[in-house]
Chains A and B, each alone.
Chain A
Amino acid sequence: MNKVITINLNGQAYQLEEGGYDALRAYLDGAARRLEGNPDRDEIIADIEQAIADKCRALLSAHKTVVVTKEIEQIVAEMGPVEDASGEAPRAAAAGAAGSAKDPGATRAGEPSAEPGPARRLYRIYPEGAMLSGVCNGLAAYLNLDVALVRVLFCLTCFFWGFGVLLYILMVIIIPPARTSAEKSAAFGAAATAQEFIRRAKEGYYEGLKTFSDKHAHREWRRRFKDEMRNWRRTFRREMRDNAYRGHPNWAPGPGPGPGAWVMLPLVSLLHSALVFLWVCMLISLLAKGTIFGLMPPADLPVWATILILFLLFGFVSWPLKALRHACYYQASYGRSGAPPVVWLWEVMVWVAFAVALGVLASHHFPQLKDALQNLPDVVHDAVDAFRRWWAKP
């Protein structure tokens, strides 16, 4: 038994369940919003109400005087979202600024999107304008930045021990590609204007932020904590340095990185990055085709076991390279508390440049790489499913 609300549709009274009323109210409000600026708005709304009334009347009879929520939802689905035919109002209403609805040609992707404000969503945009697989592209659309800028920033994240590459592959897997036109327009989404924020606030978007005061105190505490830690670290370092001079003349700083280190270090790291690249290629080819560059793994070895073996092999082969690298660093840091940062910077720069160049070259010459990267999410899911099935086997 539900509450019933009586409404007026074009001069006739209809009784709807409470849930149905809410659904209908939302639909008509959405229509009114999308038709803002349309000179015939009232008439169109009246026509729509009439059409809804006709459909309701078809469902009523002497024994049934109330329209239930499910029926209202069906009616709303049949009617479809109200699209402003002139195509101007939706975008302009979202952008809101000058309040004038006469802003044609403001549609981004050229799609006839009827939504004035799908909340902005993060998608990968592939293949329009994508370089490798559309991660930076989609990110740029979400943040409203230039794509090149986002790509540069992304490469900079590679400075942290190649983290960027792993992050990139993770993003390829996690972020969904925008396929339908609705998703594509959502990727560019409602602009971050005052109008949009007001709309979101009205729809309860920000309800979760109500615990402001607690967060403020928490943030204060964190900031103070970080300052303390920073000061402690600084005094610690200073004391260590002083002690080194005072107590142990043997520990005077050594000659610094010898000339050999400058050359060997980048070479070693180049080799290392080449190895990493090779390993990633093997991994991808294994996941995509089930073979490693044409070599079939032993027949009944499940995929995940091959991957594990690959990991181990990689660790084994790269161990001497890693040892060499550490030796160079050690030589460079003889007598200091650590290698001078310039050594590390030099190595990372060379590594990043080489890795990125190799990656871009490869993707240009081997279009299969791009496709493989596109298939990666599906392939990973397949692999996960296969593992799950194997695990579930009795």
Chain B
Amino acid sequence: MSVNEKFLSIRKGLLEFLLLKIIAADKVYVADILRQLKETEFATQEGTLYPLLSKMRREKLLDYEWQESEAGPPRKYYQLTTRGRERLRETTEYWQKISGTVKDLGQPL
């Protein structure tokens, strides 16, 4: 897992941003989120995701509602709150700004 170790801090910083984007696109539940992330570099586990989602909910960025599912108990479906959308917009602006900096500063990419 040596490659993952190297860029761990970058991924950790961006995970929350990605979660906001994923949840903004559609109402999702945790297994859905994991499935979307699985094919990417950000593949993660329930152990990481649950505490992170609960922290974001404490900060009032998300909310969930229970929905019945055909096979099994009800699931939590997450969606963004207004504050969450606000945060997503801010982070997107910031991301574009710093990605411009990364491109222009120092050795050209």
Q: A interface vs B, CB < 8 Å?
A: 10-12, 31, 35, 38-40, 43-44, 47-48, 50-51, 53-54, 57, 78-86, 112, 180-181
CB distance from A240 to the nearest CB of B (A): 65
List the A side residues contacting B5 at CB < 8 Å.
180-181
CB distance from B17 to the nearest CB of A (A): 14
- The answer, yes or no, to whether B18 is at the interface (CB within 8 Å) is no
**A44 and B51 in contact, given A12-B73, A54-B31 (Cβ under 8 angstroms):** yes
- The answer, yes or no, to whether B12 is at the interface (CB within 8 Å) is yes
- Further 15 A-B residue pairs, CB within 8 A, beyond A53-B73, A54-B72, A180-B1: A11-B73, A38-B51, A39-B58, A40-B54, A48-B46, A51-B31, A57-B72, A78-B45, A79-B47, A80-B46, A80-B48, A82-B47, A83-B47, A85-B48, A85-B55
List the B side residues contacting A181 at CB < 8 Å.
5, 8
Q: Which of A53, A81, A85 is the most central at the interface, judged by chain B CB atoms within 10 Å of its CB?
A: A85
Contact of A82 among B30, B44, B50, B57 (CB under 8 A): B50
B51 and A82 form a contact (CB under 8 A) = yes
B72 and A85 form a contact (CB under 8 A) = no
CB distance from B4 to the nearest CB of A (A): 10
B12 and A112 form a contact (CB under 8 A) = yes
**A80 and B50 in contact, given A39-B58, A51-B30, A57-B72 (Cβ under 8 angstroms):** no
List the A side residues contacting B76 at CB < 8 Å.
47
B73 and A10 form a contact (CB under 8 A) = yes
Query: How many residues of B sit at the interface, in one of the four size bands?
Result: 20 to 34
**A47 and B30 in contact, given A57-B72, A112-B8 (Cβ under 8 angstroms):** yes
Q: Return the 5 tightest CB-CB contacts between A and B, nearest first.
A: A80-B45, A80-B47, A85-B55, A40-B54, A85-B52
Complex alpha-carbon distance, A82 and B55, angstroms: 13
List the B side residues contacting A12 at CB < 8 Å.
73
* CB neighbors of A among B43-93 (8 A): 44-48, 50-52, 54-55, 57-58, 72-73, 76
Complex alpha-carbon distance, A240 and B1, angstroms: 68
Contact of B54 among A43, A50, A57 (CB under 8 A): A43
List the B side residues contacting A35 at CB < 8 Å.
51
14 CB < 8 A contacts A-B = A11-B73, A38-B54, A44-B54, A47-B50, A47-B54, A48-B47, A79-B46, A80-B44, A80-B46, A80-B48, A81-B47, A83-B47, A85-B55, A181-B5
Nearest B residue to A79 by beta-carbon distance?
B46
Complex alpha-carbon distance, A77 and B92, angstroms: 33
Complex alpha-carbon distance, A43 and B51, angstroms: 9
Contact of A40 among B1, B2, B45, B58 (CB under 8 A): B58
Complex alpha-carbon distance, A112 and B5, angstroms: 11
List the A side residues contacting B44 at CB < 8 Å.
80
Complex alpha-carbon distance, A47 and B58, angstroms: 15
Complex alpha-carbon distance, A232 and B1, angstroms: 62
List the B side residues contacting A84 at CB < 8 Å.
51
CB distance from A149 to the nearest CB of B (A): 31
